[in-house]
Amino acid sequence: MDLLIKNGTVVTAKESFVADVAVDAGKIVAIGKDLPMEANQVVDATGKLVLPGALDVHTHLAMPFGGTVSADSYLSGTRAAACGGVTTVFDYPVQHKGETILGLVNSKKAILEKEACVDYAFHCCITDLNEGTILEEMEKAVEEGITSFKCFLVYKKENMMVDDGTLARLLLRAKELGAMINVHAENPDLIDLNIEKFLAEGKTSAWYHYLSRPEFVEAEADKRAVHWATHLDAPIYLVHMADKEGLEACIDAKKAGHEVYVETCPQYLEFTCDVYKREDGRNFVCSPPMKGQESQDALWEALKAGFIDTIATDHCPFQSFEKDWGKDNFTKIPNGCAGIENMYPYMLDAANAGKISFERVVELCSTNPARIFGCTEKGSLAIGKDADIVIYDKDKDFTIHVENMHSDYDHTIWEGKQLHGYPVQTYLRGNLVYDNGEFVGEVGAGKYVKRVRKAN
Ligand code: URP
Ligand code: ZN
Ligand code: ZN
């Protein structure tokens, strides 16, 4: 036996119990009380929680965006992931006119093979159907394990938006292939109208980023996406849900039996639009923006009631000097914030404070993302699964500072956030990759996760 984690409290999406976990050749081979086994490495987890590694199914690493490239490379982003208990990351490469899905994804894979510190998968953003050839190619992409594709209903000027006809074609094709469409929902025309007005009035601070994309601007597109998906009877996954009205439309569709999945992010659970009034408000600029208290309350309520399916980060940090480009004009601020290392600790802190259960955190951050996106070897502490394991100390206090993170960015929206409880170790397929504040893994050890399609 390679590894025996003894006497910890094993947490699954359904229950928690004291047990030993035995690992051999990267897999969990036994779970039980007082396992009578010898191992090369024995870890005493008495008093600690033993959790499955998280999957962050929404990241933008080394992404060309906003006139620059997001600040975390595949190396630094996946290193930070390991240190935050995330053992699988999903990246979102963006296909542009003339590009193929597999040409793009394979070019990213070639970098990750050398740089990945945790396992990785891809959703592919589609921005142009290339006269229909993309619809053809989707079949091959699904066979290669890319079983979800993203549509931006926004970023029109950036040439990333798809129109409703393209969205409908993609929804139908994905359904036919047992794949799924993920959607970033905001209405670009309303945003542009608002931006034009605010700039003409000299209203240029980060607060106007929020006011140009308020609740109803996201809600219109959420509802439109859900409308198309439900009427075409196709599954849909709404990324980074941030507003109450859109969320309610998703909940109604779920209650009516439609396959609608909802993701939200820690930043929407922690911050409201008030952050944009701060002197450093531009650092919080992301799309969709943080919304009002009513939306935040609705997100927490839905999360507790089981209507939110996943938590992911939308990790897309930029350096301070890049955020400063928009000091006098909010439209020049690159959109995106950091979070990859903070998601699991933040959600676990919420459980430690009694806001939700530890089982629910495991469900939201690990079991559901693995199930929804076809990572059959991931997402649970169970015999036969990959030994992606986090050991969590409920009593360890931790304050987030940019200096104790493992990314390449120079500031974080999470600066000063105090957490009660923190991961002390992360194992990737049985190998220790994070140990008490230090990344101890191997660069390039992360493997591609070939996902399986949904049963139709
Ligand atoms: O502001 C954000 N979210 N930046 C990353 C790209 C996206 O929209 O997800
Ligand atoms: Zn987005
Ligand atoms: Zn995103």
The most distant pair of C-alpha atoms in the chain lies apart, rounded to whole Å, by 74
pLDDT for res 456: 57
Q: What is the whole-number distance in angstroms between the Cα of residue 39 and the centre of ligand 2?
A: 45
Counting as low any pLDDT under 50, the low residues of the chain are none
Report which ligand 1 atom has the smallest distance to the Cα of 335: 1
Distance 59 CA to ligand 3 centre (A): 6
Which atom from ligand 1 is nearest to the alpha carbon of 92? 9
Q: What are the strands, taking DSSP E only, across 185-322?
A: 236-238, 260-264, 310-311
Q: Whose CA is nearest to atom 7 of ligand 1?
A: 287
Q: What is the pLDDT of residue 454?
A: 75
Q: Which residues line ligand 1 (CB under 6 A)?
A: 60, 184, 286-287, 314, 316, 335-336
Query: Closest Cα to atom 2, ligand 1: which residue?
Result: 336
Instruction: Judge contact between 229 and 235, C-beta under 8 A.
Output: yes
Is 53 in contact with 85 (CB distance < 8 Å)?
Answer: yes
CA distance 151 to 234: 14
Tokens in use for 12? Answer: 């699954």
Q: State the distance from the centre of ligand 1 to the C-alpha of 19, rounded, in angstroms.
A: 41
Task: Please tell me the predicted confidence (pLDDT) of residue 455.
Answer: 65
What spacing in Å lies between the alpha carbon of 314 and ligand 3's midpoint?
A: 4
What are the CA-CA distances from residue 209 to residues 170, 198, 273, 323 (Å)? 30, 10, 10, 13
Mutate to test the pocket of ligand 1, among 127, 153, 286, 331 (most ligand atoms within 8 A of CB): 286
CA of 43 to the centre of ligand 1 (A): 39
316 CA distance to ligand 1 middle (Å): 7
Q: Which of 419, 443, 421, 422 lies closest to 431 in space, CA to CA? A: 443
Q: For residue 167, what are the CA distances in angstroms to 181, 229, 236, 271?
A: 9, 9, 11, 31
pTM comes to 0.98
Atom 4 (ligand 1) nearest CA: 336
Beta strands 418-428; 431-435: pairing state = antiparallel
For tokens 């949904």, the residue is 454
Give the nearest ligand 1 atom to 152 CA. 8
